[in-house]
Amino acid sequence: MAVTDVTPNGAGGDDDQAPRVALLNNPEIRGWIFQIVLAILIVYLVYAGWSNMNANLQAAGIASGWAFLGNNAGFAISQSLIEYSQASSSYGRVYVIGLLNTLIIAFFGIIFATIIGFLMGVARLSKNWLVSRLATVYVEALRNIPLLLQIFIWYFGVLRLLPQPRQGFDFGFLGLLNNRGYFAPKPVWGDGAEFTLYAFIIACIAAWALGRWARARQMATGQTFPAFWTGFGMIVFLPLAVFVITGSPLSWDIPVMGGFRPSGGMTVIPEFIAMLVALAMYTAAFIAEIVRAGILAVSRGQTEAANALGLRSGPTLRLVVIPQALRIIIPPLTSQYLNLTKNSSLAVAIAYPELTSVFAGTALNQTGQAVEIISLTMLTYLTISLLTSLFMNWYNSRVALVER
Amino acid sequence: MSDQPNTLQVAYVRRELLNEEPAPASSRGPVAWLRESLFSSIPYTILTLLCIYILYVIIPPVVDFMVTNAVWTGSDRAVCATEAQGGIQPNGWFGACWAYVDAYANQFIYGRYPDAEQWRVNIVALLFFGGLAPLLIPAAPFKRENMLFMVFVFPLVAVVLLTGGDIAVSHLYIPLAVLAVIALGVVYAFAKGSESDPLPGLKTTAAIFAGLFVMLFVLGFDFGLRHVETEVWGGLLVTLVIAVTGIAASLPLGIALALGRRSALPIVRFFSIVFIEFWRGVPLITVLFMSSVMLPLFLPEGVTFDKLLRALIGVALFSSAYMAEVVRGGLQALPKGQYEGAMALGLNWTQMMRMIILPQALKLVIPGIVNTFIGLFKDTTLVLIIGLFDFLGQIQSSFSDPAWSSPVQSLTGYFFAAIVYFIFCFGMSRYSMYMERRLDTGHKR
Amino acid sequence: MKKLILTSALGAAAVAFAGSAAFAATLDDVKAKGFVQCGVSQGLPGFSNPDADGNWSGLDVDLCRGVAAAIFGDGEAVKFTPLSAKERFTALQSGEIDVLSRNTTWTMSRDTQLGLNFAGVNYYDGQGFMVRTSMNINSALELSGASVCTNTGTTTELNVADYFRANNMEYELVAFEKADEVVAAYDAGRCDVYTTDQSGLYAQRLKLTDPGEHKVLPEIISKEPLGPVVRQGDDQWFNLVKWVHIATVNAEELGVTQANVDEMMAGDNPSVKRLLGSEGEFGSAIGLENDWGANVIKAVGNYGEIFDRNVGPDTPLGIARGVNALWSKGGLMYGPPIR
């Protein structure tokens, strides 16, 4: 290295250094200069935005701060999972209700989207010509039409298809259905109902332990044990037995037709139904493609090899094909789940009271504190996304093929 | 081997080939096809019958609504309303009101853009599709010239034609000149500091600033066109403006972010990741709320943005994060050897990216870019929530016209919107699949 | 380097589109740009509604035209920004518009907490209910248990909450982002009741499939004084907008109409002469020419004419003058004297 630079007298400790390179030609230093300039620029932009905002807020005399979260909201919300009264509930509670409504539509949407998506994905691969064609039409049509438009179509479609309350469908014990929503009977738990819950929890833990034990035994001895069915039986029958023993502490609050709409029971508002159908159908079209790709990606050789090993078709599917397909399916599937959750914000267009609609909509209008409310809303969605990504990364690293 | 068969030892050998027999009647023809693909087993038969039933339930009413019972001509709501609703159709009639779509067609395409000026929109559309088509067809010649036209000339022409030009930019000349001097100085100092020839860098910088000056001049030049505010834009025009601008702005930003995310520089990587994950983690509608309600507060006093421009900024930031991930996919798909080869040739980072990595990576992600565009095209509908009149918004706003109000009006409008969006998105997705297949063949190992 | 160029290019493009607005002297700014930027609704017949050619008309629109006429002598020197209920205050605060004339209710919190000032009342409204005729309901007190459709971002959802609570009635609120969606949902039978300002009910009824099937209940459950809004802290502009409206009211009182302005200007009535600027120096105090009043009336007419043209009995809305009549005829419209 230092050969060219050796001084004639051979002395000097720092002679074996690299040839003198201009400071700016050192990639490391260049990198740092660039980074520092970038950091200064970004910090400046953020600072400028921040100080502008403060100046603007001050000049316009707009209130700021988080105190409004404790103020009384004073408007009604058509669906709330927790208690809400317009007389006394605060904006903070409105936020919680909006968040819960977002989560519940996402939860049910994900379940239905997954079911429909898997069915459609398998149907697209069906050898039945009509079935596969229909599934293709479904996927192509729903993927290529904007979700918002679909939401409008479903909402106004649902409203027009369902009859007025007075002419509504009456399913007796199963409740009422009309264009004010679906009115289902509501379970009312009596004394001692908590024992059933405890029994359920105990059964779940026992089933889990049983599964572990069965697997360990299979690993050690090769003997199999029908852990799934045993566990399933435990989870179903243990709580049922306790329920009967404690004297069936359950009654139903059955909705009855009132002056304008049924009262009592549980109400599923039409906005929820329309939103759920639209979200589930739309996302299912994407899931169908993911499932199809996942199944196609498992090569036939895997099935043939499993057959050659003497596995029957059930275990082949369960132990060979599905685990491999899932590895491909799950990452894009999670991002679809995330999309569904984010897309639930479109409910703002049809008055389903979720986070964006009720908090970033109504509450923002009433308080005028745009900065606080929009930031909090965005942060909430961001947190949901990041938590999901975190889980996904963990899962991915667990199932990823270890390559050598 | 000899082809003389040994005929002596075998009593009988057939010398000539038998003619091919047609397949048995039971396994050919439409009947066999039906049996094979529709009725091969009992569950399949049940499924098939179920599907036929579904089709029976869906298709006839839709055809009746869309075609058989539809009204194609007329001048007001009377043709699309039943007698009970004050129209001329028999009671119980239910069909699409295409006459209404026809009457509103102009608004659905141009919004409230003045009739006399619509030729400007037409020219922009012509230039756009005329310039884009040869770019999309792999066999078409003059790719480079075409690209330059689309990147540098077309946006300027489009802005001038659509808004009318003569934009107040005169106050920008001096800041730009100052910026130019500073930039030239920095480039010169950098070159001196790194003991290289400053001339090429200075030339590039000067060219860029000259381009910017030309741009400003064109934007500020009075071509005598009438000024058309963005408030009156609407319909398909706004949808395309948002989608195309969004994707055009997000491409360079997305590339920069993708490179930043894979960069070895920690601060750059950190900011890139934060930026990408933030925009990907929030729904577009909150981004639009933010840009329409909060953005004005971040700007210095007295500076306001056009409403459309605010939405554009939101959309561009949002889609650039998605674009970054698409591009990152392309960067990751390139074998490591490409990087190593480039470095072995002594290329520096910029040269490596510009000449080796990005051309290959971008080619790989063309389908991904088209898919992002499809997503963006569909997402433009959300701007109606913040009060812009895109295609769907324009259709929705026409529902409030009493001259055409009838029970079938909104259904007709939504059906029409669905058809139009489907044609656009389906066409693009076919193109993306075609490109995918085409690019795939080149990379088979 | 590339990044810097990119940023500066973006910045240049952005600023090229950006308009300018000053917080301090709105009038100077308006004069400089040559037109008034006016925030209106996204389409409310009678108040601010665009026709198929994009020409705006309505009571609120005429106020903006009046302001433009006062400044430039030309009622057309105005540009309209359609705003949703949510955006309207931010648009004004940020200087995007000069005056907000969008059937906005004057409330204390809006007047005091949002950095805005209400420059008078150009329509006295009250919240009402609309129901289907077939439901045989004659009073809002029969609405217990009903589903109520309205749009968010307004005082209406708070009023309806108060009303139902005060009368111990149950209800289900279905609140939409846009008025069009409320109408569509009500029309589709989602709700029994549609509530908003009564004027709005009359206006939106035109959009229903069968307007004759719906009626507006007699109850008015709130005070909704609607008026123009300006930014706080610019008294000159505030006064200008306020007095443009007052001028139209005074003109009606004094019998000055769009048709007879010139005639009246030459007449002897000193009040008329002061209003129309042929006597006194009232324009300069608000930064205008002395004939500003005459210009306003020439452009949009007096308040009575504005009312009759946009929402009056001869229009599809068919709203009677009621409380919006002049004080001398039993209404609330009272113009402080110009002197």
- Is residue B208 located within the same domain as residue B337? no
Express each pLDDT in C30-60 by its tens digit. Answer: 999 899 999 998 878 889 887 766 788 999 9
Which chain C residues touch B301 with a CB distance below 8 Å?
22-23, 95
- Please give the structure tokens belonging to residue A382: 């961001």
> Cβ(A157)–Cβ(C186) under 8 Å?
no
DSSP A346: G
Q: Which of A21, A26, A35, A125 to mutate to test the interface with B (most CBs of B within 10 A)?
A: A35
Q: B297 vs A52: CB contact, 8 Å cut-off?
A: yes
Which runs of consecutive H residues, i.e. helices, occur in B86-234?
A: 98-110, 118-136, 143-148, 154-163, 173-193, 198-220
Q: A34 vs B268: CB contact, 8 Å cut-off?
A: yes
Of A4-13, B255-264, B415-424, which range is least confident? A4-13
Nearest to A348 among C93, C177, C233 (CB): C177
Express each pLDDT in A343-380 by its tens digit. Answer: 999 988 888 999 998 898 888 877 878 888 999 999 99
- Is residue B191 located within the same domain as residue B330? no
> What is the phi/psi pair of residue C264, to 5°?
-65, -35
- Is residue B353 located within the same domain as residue B273? yes
- Is residue B172 located within the same domain as residue B318? no
Answer yes or no: is B330 within a domain.
yes
- Is residue B311 located within the same domain as residue B435? yes
Residue with tokens 């409204």: C125
> Whole-angstrom Cα distance, residue B127 to residue B154?
7
Task: Please give the helix or strand (H or E) that residue B237 lies within, else none.
Answer: helix B235-261
> Whole-angstrom Cα distance, residue A359 to residue A381?
13
Residue with tokens 């009115």: A183
> Whole-angstrom Cα distance, residue C259 to residue B146?
61
- Please give the structure tokens belonging to residue C144: 């217990």
How confident is the model at residue B225, as a pLDDT? 85
Domain total of chain B: 2
CA distance C86 to chain B (A): 8
Which chain B residues touch C20 with a CB distance below 8 Å?
302-304
Answer yes or no: is B199 within a domain.
yes
Q: Span C138-158, mean pLDDT?
A: 84
Residue B191 domain boundaries: 167-221
Of C251 and A247, the structure prediction assigns the larger pLDDT to C251
Residue B97 neighbours by CB under 8 Å, 6+ apart: B70, B71, B74, B79, B80, B404, B406, B408, B409, B412
- Is residue B216 located within the same domain as residue B313? no
CA distance A69 to chain C (A): 16
Q: What percent of chain B has pLDDT over 90?
A: 28
How confident is the model at residue A20, as a pLDDT? 59
Q: C95 vs B301: CB contact, 8 Å cut-off?
A: yes
Whole-number mean pLDDT of chain C? 85
Where is mean pLDDT largest: A284-288, B364-368, C11-15, C280-284? A284-288
For chain B positions 46-65, those within 8 Å of chain C (CB to CB) are none
Chain A within 8 Å of C169 (Cβ-Cβ)? no
- Is residue B269 located within the same domain as residue B190? no
Nearest to A159 among C116, C160, C185 (CB): C185
**Beta pairing class for B303-304 and C19-20:** antiparallel
Nearest to A381 among B283, B297, B379 (CB): B283
CATH fold group of domain A91-185+254-396: MetI-like fold (1.10.3720)
Which residue of chain A is at minimal alpha-carbon distance from B379?
Answer: A146
Which chain B residues touch C316 with a CB distance below 8 Å?
402
Q: At which of B221, B253, B283 does a domain end? A: B221
Q: Is the pLDDT of residue A9 over 50?
A: no
Residue A13 neighbours by CB under 8 Å, 6+ apart: none
Q: Is the pLDDT of residue A212 over 60?
A: yes
- Is residue B189 located within the same domain as residue B271? no
Does the domain spanning C20-124+225-329 belong to CATH 3.40.190.10?
A: yes
DSSP B76: S
Task: Give the three-state DSSP class for B94.
Answer: coil
Q: Which residues pair with B111 in a beta bridge?
A: B233
> Cβ(C301)–Cβ(C252) under 8 Å?
no
Q: Span B260-267, mean pLDDT?
A: 88
Secondary structure in 3-state letters for A347-398 = HHHHCCCCHHHHHHHHHHHHHCCHHHHHHHHHHHHHHHHHHHHHHHHHHHHH
Q: b/e per residue, C81-90, with b = 16+ CB within 10 A?
A: bbbbbbbbbb
- Please give the structure tokens belonging to residue B58: 């869906």
Chain C within 8 Å of B290 (Cβ-Cβ)? no
Residue A69 CB neighbour total at 10 angstroms: 19
Express each pLDDT in B247-258 by its tens digit. Answer: 889 999 999 999
The structure's pTM equals: 0.83
> Cβ(B268)–Cβ(A35) under 8 Å?
yes
CATH of C127-222, one of 3.40.50.10860, 3.40.50.1370, 3.40.190.10, 1.10.10.60: 3.40.190.10
Chain A within 8 Å of C187 (Cβ-Cβ)? no
> What is the phi/psi pair of residue B390, to 5°?
-80, -170
Any idea what the CATH number is for the domain that residue B437 is in?
1.10.3720.10
Q: What ipTM does this complex have? A: 0.84
> Cβ(A120)–Cβ(A138) under 8 Å?
yes
Q: Is the pLDDT of residue B241 over 90?
A: yes
- Please give the structure tokens belonging to residue A13: 């400790």
Answer yes or no: is B368 within a domain.
yes
Answer yes or no: is B382 within a domain.
yes
Answer yes or no: is B351 within a domain.
yes
Nearest to C43 among B115, B292, B397 (CB): B397
Which chain B residues touch C93 with a CB distance below 8 Å?
296-297
Where is mean pLDDT largest: B197-201, B348-352, C236-240? C236-240
Listed by start position, the domains of chain C span 20-124+225-329, 127-222
> Cβ(C279)–Cβ(C270) under 8 Å?
yes
- Is residue B205 located within the same domain as residue B322? no
CA distance A84 to chain B (A): 25
Residue C160 neighbours by CB under 8 Å, 6+ apart: A76, C127, C148, C150, C171, C173, C195, C221
* Length of chain C in terms of residues written: 339
Chain B within 8 Å of A23 (Cβ-Cβ)? yes
Of A64 and A308, the structure prediction assigns the larger pLDDT to A308
CATH fold match for the domains C20-124+225-329 and C127-222: yes
Answer yes or no: is B357 within a domain.
yes
Nearest to A260 among C94, C146, C177 (CB): C146
Q: Which of B378, B388, B398 to mutate to test the interface with A (most CBs of A within 10 A)?
A: B378
Band (B3; pLDDT cuts 50, 70, 90): low
- Is residue B275 located within the same domain as residue B418? yes
Residue with tokens 């009101």: B97
Q: Is the pLDDT of residue B1 over 60?
A: no
Nearest to C94 among B304, B396, B406 (CB): B304
Which chain C residues touch B219 with a CB distance below 8 Å?
16
Q: Is the pLDDT of residue C7 over 50?
A: no
